[in-house]
């Protein structure tokens, strides 16, 4: 990456809740979820003077109601940051938080700011994807995009059509594996450290505390999912077991120039190597991570064999399988999502990008033999995004300061 090296200092997320009337956050505001994670990062890092935060970038796909009003700025004010700290909102649908991180990282790299908070929030229980949206009729009338492009599940079915090797049986197996891996990670204590407890108030049940993810379905088996319906197409292949559930939640990450992190005594959990976004046909948006990854690898001067850890957002199992096939990676490769993914934990759209980063950072710390990892995801309306990271704990890692000497 040109300019100053940028590091991922820390990240956090709320427990994820099911987006439904009786879900975990049914009576909690979206902006309050974002405030909770920002406050937690500030609490964890008192060595960061709040006035050194140069920007707060918060993403949301549906920027209405309690997810509107320039989220970055409103969250900064609500979190108690100095009024001199600016902020803004971002929308790149599922890659919102990922875009927030890469945007502020670019500003840090060129020296415009020294540190930033970036993340995303989605309260899909209050603001379902596409609610109150008014897509231009020209999209379909002039055949600019296929009508399926506006229905994410339909785009997943299209991937099955386009790549016959991506069978329902493979997708079912991947979906079950995601649940199993998440359950193992939870039992091993690898999930809870990332979570920020959130106070809840229910008009009927009173006060409570959200401390655990709500969407996972432990004990899921291949036999149990074999007969599930295919809601996006009669006789199709995409089911609830191979799709990420509708989810409420928020994430935030603290990003800084490597030299500033060292000056302030902030940890460097990952260093940003390169990133890229790419467009694809909207009706098969799930292949978006493939060209984005090719471009990010090219910018980094790496090939896929150098990547020792993959965190791939599981919008749909078939989308992950398409990525794996494109790069010759086995469905059960241990480098891929070993702690499960969005099929199990949920996918609060614009928040998910930082969840991937937090999980990758944890893997870097646990295994210093991994030098490079990537976070990648598909994006609605035909896009993909990929960020490549380097592990500061690797024996060959050289800081910018050491490199200068």
Confidence of residue 402 (pLDDT cuts 50, 70, 90): low
CA–CA separation, 348 and 198 (whole Å): 16
| Arithmetic mean of pLDDT, 350-371 | 98
Helix (H) or strand (E) holding 227: none
CA–CA separation, 106 and 335 (whole Å): 28
Residue 403: the pLDDT is 59
Residue 237: the pLDDT is 97
Q: Could you say which DSSP state residue 348 is in?
A: -
Say yes or no to pLDDT of 1 above 60: no
Q: Could you say which DSSP state residue 147 is in?
A: G
Residue 404 CA from chain centroid, whole number: 33
Residues 127/92/355/11 CA torsion (nearest 10 deg): -110
| Arithmetic mean of pLDDT, 52-63 | 97
Confidence of residue 39 (pLDDT cuts 50, 70, 90): very high
Each residue of 240-265: pLDDT tens digit?
999 999 999 999 999 999 999 999 99
Helix (H) or strand (E) holding 258: helix 258-264
- Which two three-digit tokens encode residue 297? 């690898």
- The residue to which tokens 């079950």 are assigned: 176
Residues recorded for the chain: 405
Say yes or no to pLDDT of 404 above 60: no
Widest CA span of the chain, in angstroms?
64
Each residue of 153-172: pLDDT tens digit?
999 999 999 999 999 999 99
Structural domains in the chain, CATH included, are: 6-127+244-389 (3.40.47.10)
Residues 284/290/296/298 CA torsion (nearest 10 deg): -130
Do β-strands 87-90 and 53-59 pair in parallel, antiparallel, or remain unpaired?
parallel
Q: Which residues contact 141 (CB under 8 A, 6 or more apart)?
A: none
Percent of the chain whose pLDDT exceeds 90: 91
Confidence of residue 2 (pLDDT cuts 50, 70, 90): low
Q: Are 255 and 275 within 8 A, CB to CB?
A: no
Average pLDDT, the chain: 96
Q: Could you say which DSSP state residue 390 is in?
A: E
Residue 130: the pLDDT is 83
Say yes or no to pLDDT of 129 above 90: no
Say what the pTM is: 0.96
Give Cα separations from 267 to 107, 192, 392 (angstroms): 20, 20, 10
Residue 310: the pLDDT is 98
Residue 58 CA from chain centroid, whole number: 13
Residue 94: the pLDDT is 97
Say yes or no to pLDDT of 405 above 80: no
Residue 147: the pLDDT is 83
Residue 401: the pLDDT is 60
CA–CA separation, 158 and 148 (whole Å): 8
- The residue to which tokens 């959130």 are assigned: 198
Each residue of 296-353: pLDDT tens digit?
999 999 999 999 999 999 999 999 999 999 999 999 999 999 999 999 999 999 999 9
- Which two three-digit tokens encode residue 338? 């070993």
Beta-carbon-side half-sphere exposure of residue 44 (alpha carbons within 13 Å): 19
CA–CA separation, 29 and 207 (whole Å): 15
Cβ burial of 169 (10 Å; 0-12, 13-18, 19+) is exposed
Show which residues are catalytic: 94, 347, 378
Say yes or no to pLDDT of 28 above 80: yes
Residue 400: the pLDDT is 65
Each residue of 178-229: pLDDT tens digit?
999 999 999 999 999 999 999 998 888 789 999 999 999 999 999 999 999 9
Say what angle helices 168-187 and 317-326 make with each other, to 10 degrees: 100
CA–CA separation, 258 and 251 (whole Å): 22
């Amino acid at each position: 990456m040109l300019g100053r090296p940028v590091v991922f200092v820390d990240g956090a997320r709320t427990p994820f809740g099911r987006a439904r009337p009786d879900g975990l956050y049914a009576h909690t505001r979206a902006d309050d979820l974002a405030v909770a994670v920002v406050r937690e990062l500030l609490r964890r890092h008192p060595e960061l003077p709040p006035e050194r935060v140069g920007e707060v970038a918060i993403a949301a796909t549906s920027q209405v109601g309690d997810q509107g009003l320039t989220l970055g700025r409103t969250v900064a004010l609500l979190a108690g940051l100095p009024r001199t700290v600016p902020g803004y909102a971002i929308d790149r649908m599922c890659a919102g938080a990922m875009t927030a991180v890469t945007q502020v990282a670019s500003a840090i790299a060129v020296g415009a700011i020294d540190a930033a908070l970036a993340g995303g929030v989605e309260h899909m229980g209050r603001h379902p994807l596409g609610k109150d949206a008014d897509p231009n009729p020209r999209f379909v009338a002039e055949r600019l995009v296929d009508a399926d492009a506006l229905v994410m599940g339909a785009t997943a079915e299209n991937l099955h059509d386009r790549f016959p090797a991506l069978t329902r049986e493979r997708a079912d197996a991947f979906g079950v594996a995601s649940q199993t891996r998440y359950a193992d990670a939870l039992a091993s204590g690898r999930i809870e450290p990332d979570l920020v407890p959130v106070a809840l108030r229910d008009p009927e049940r009173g006060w409570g505390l959200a401390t655990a993810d709500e969407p996972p379905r432990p004990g899921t088996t291949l036999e149990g999912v074999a007969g599930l319906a295919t809601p996006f197409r009669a006789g199709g292949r995409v089911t609830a077991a191979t799709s990420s559930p509708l989810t409420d939640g928020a994430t935030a990450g603290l990003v800084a120039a490597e030299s500033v992190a060292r000056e302030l005594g902030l940890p460097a959990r990952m260093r940003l190597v390169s990133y890229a976004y790419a467009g694809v046909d909207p009706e098969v948006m799930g292949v978006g991570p493939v060209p984005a990854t090719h471009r990010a690898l090219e910018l980094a001067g790496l090939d896929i064999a150098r990547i020792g850890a993959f965190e791939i957002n599981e919008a749909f199992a078939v989308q992950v399988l398409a990525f794996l096939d494109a790069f010759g990676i086995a469905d059960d490769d241990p480098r891929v999502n070993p702690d499960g993914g969005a099929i199990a934990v949920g996918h609060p759209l614009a928040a998910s990008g930082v969840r991937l980063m937090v999980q990758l950072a944890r893997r870097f710390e646990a295994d210093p033999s991994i030098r490079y990892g990537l976070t990648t995801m598909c994006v609605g309306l035909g896009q993909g995004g990929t960020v490549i990271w380097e592990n500061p704990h690797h024996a060959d890692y050289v800081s910018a300061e050491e490199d200068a000497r």
